[in-house]
Amino acid sequence: MRLERSLSAYARARRVLAGGVNSPVRAFKAVGGSPVFIKSAAGAIVRDLDDHEYVDYILGWGPLIFGHAHPAIVRAIQLAASKGTCYGTPTEVESEVAELVCAAMPSIERVRFTCSGTEATMSAVRLARGFTGRRLVLKFAGCYHGHADGFLIEAGSGALTNDVPTSPGVTAGTASDVLVLPYNDIDAVRSAFSRHAEEIAAIIVEPYAGNMGLVLPKDGYLQALRDITRRAGALLIFDEVMTGFRAGPGGAQGIEGIVPDLTALGKIIGGGLPVGAFGGRADIMASVAPDGPVYAAGTLAGHPVAMAAGAVTLRMLREPAVYEQLERSTAAICDGLHHVFETHGVSHQLSQRGSMFCIFFTDKPVYNLNDARRSDTALFAKYFHAMLDRGILLPPSQFESCFFSTAHTAAEIDHTVAAANDAIESLLVPLASR
């Protein structure tokens, strides 16, 4: 596939942008080659600078649950922007989005908007420390909670992709305030609390870990986290920036029946525009300024255009048939891909929840970061490029999730499965010689 214009655009970007990109995973370092530059998108299809079209499974890394440029969302954005792009004052649409969030997630009684998921998780952790008066936060290796200093210790997503799970610039003092344990290892959590119970302010966790690939919790794991934190007087923070309103109408917590103390949200609640939020029990949220002493602020927080897009998106998601369609269609593509890999004797694990899915090239179950790292990332890189050549755009890293939308039709599913079959067949000879 000829990508001259993308190559030229990348050369230009590298002259003025750090690394040529504005988020590391976009640079294709995990799969090799140069990034594809997209100029337009509609529905499930994106178009690059060289006019190649791709079925898109990145979907803005999750927010585009109705696909690209959905007419109702575009109209809401245009109308809101025509009235003014930023006020720096309260607006009624902020309250509307907050009401929709609280109605869908009973654990959230009060909410505060931010401009990104990173700000949401960072603020939730600060609030947990301020509310409990404790210092330590427990996180899990491979879970990515944004790029605030305290989270870049055994992080997932782009940090893992680029082999810097502990970032330079994170001080020893910051690192000493964070305990990092393996995901899905409840005994390790019990041991940490046996030593530090009175110091741990909170556990923060992706209930479905979507930033080391899609790694799902073992049966009883999330409930055990809830029980342990409750007994110790610590808070349980669910990072549902990715899973909120995507895994299901009430997020992962709704599916699992777990009530966290605080929840971080983003992506879908802004309809594809920059947004984040954190919320939870009313008594905890009462500690946030101006009512309480824990400071959180943002000039563009609750941005009126993002709120307008989010309000339309969340209203459309109240229709149960949306999630039924997404679950059915995502299961169909996973079944098709599984059949392709199984037919060709390719060792793999397929993980799915709601409209998120992931392929690991390994013959062993994936329960944590170490398991994910043992998968065949070299094969994934070859598979990625083989699929790209056949018009399928996957996340350019083994350690990311794929996303599905209501805009993906049976035709796109069939095309994707056929492309996977052709891609694997093209790789069989190299595989046989490994």
Please list, in sequence order, all residues whose beta carbon lies within 8 angstroms of the beta carbon of residue 99, skipping any fewer than 6 positions away. none
Q: Tell me the β-bridge partners of 200.
A: 136
Query: Which token pair is 310?
Result: 């989010």
Identify the active-site residue in 29, 139, 267, 382.
267
Active site residue 267: yes
Identify the active-site residue in 239, 261, 371, 376.
239
Identify the active-site residue in 54, 57, 144, 323.
144
Active site residue 218: no
Active site residue 364: no
Alpha carbons 183 and 368: distance in angstroms, whole number: 5
Residues noted as catalytic:
144, 239, 267
